[in-house]
Amino acid sequence: MTGKGGKRPSAPVPKKSEDEVTYPSYLALEELLLLQRPRSTPEHPDELLFIIVHQASELWFKLILHELNALIALIEARDTLGALTSVRRVNALVRIVTGQLSALETLPPQRFAQFRGYLGTSSGSQSVQFRAIEAMSGMRDAHFLQVLKQHGEIAPLVKKALARPTLQQLYDDLLDAEGVTLEQVYSEQNQKPLQMLAEGLLEYEQGFAMWRFLHVQLVERIIGPLTSGTGGTLGSKYLQQTINQRFFPKLWAVRSKFFKG
């Protein structure tokens, strides 16, 4: 049927239901894109970069914690092959959050100085999720616990992580359940899955150490090695101390046992 002038009437545009899931609604984009709130006045053009990199890092930290919980569950279930797949994902996520630091390398020191004062007492050391990742991974030394207490009562998320076995302990328990030693894992051909998991865990530690190292380099590149961090922290001086921290000391030590004499 055609309308006047021989033109076919256009089909009515279907109305969207308020409950219909769309790309913006599924991702809560309207709310998400309003969460970047620069504090500088007038707004400094580089502050948005600074905010987004840190907010994005926190989102990746959330996912890393989620995947670490999945990895732990698989190790506790003695599912070595499942844990292998899981640790690969964790390592991919660590590489992503490390790669984001390159964006901040484009921030010259003089420009950061122009809006740094607006950050107040905020500091990356206050990241509860990052501290939880450290605790879940294996940080238990007295210095780490002292740093946690510097910002008041330890957050529940970090307390929960501290109450659980470390990844090293979980791997040790897995070996006990399989009835093998760490030396056998690296010397017997039929222990390849356990060896591959051990290497995946070491890759995780190395990736985390790379994040720490690049973070130190970034801080020194922007504010210099002698400047205190935001919030009165020690800046790169403290960060330098964290580079050599080990999550899996036994996985490192076993290597020397094959080179005696």
CA-CA-CA-CA torsion sign (61, 65, 70, 72):
positive
Read off the pLDDT band of 172 (50, 70, 90). very high
Among 103-107, 144-148, 233-237, the least confident range: 233-237
User: Looking at the domain 46-254, which fold is it?
Assistant: Methane Monooxygenase Hydroxylase; Chain G, domain 1 (1.20.58)
* 164-170: average pLDDT: 96
Cβ atoms of residues 148 and 78 within 8 Å: no
Cα 9 to the center of its chain, rounded Å: 56
Question: Residue 225: its pLDDT value, please?
Answer: 72
| pLDDT more than 70, % of the chain | 86
Query: How far apart are alpha carbons 85 and 70 in whole angstroms?
Result: 11
Query: How far apart are alpha carbons 62 and 23 in whole angstroms?
Result: 21
Select the more confidently predicted residue: 243 or 45. 45
* 94-109: average pLDDT: 96
Question: Residue 142: its pLDDT value, please?
Answer: 86
Among 16-25, 59-68, 80-89, 99-108, the least confident range: 16-25
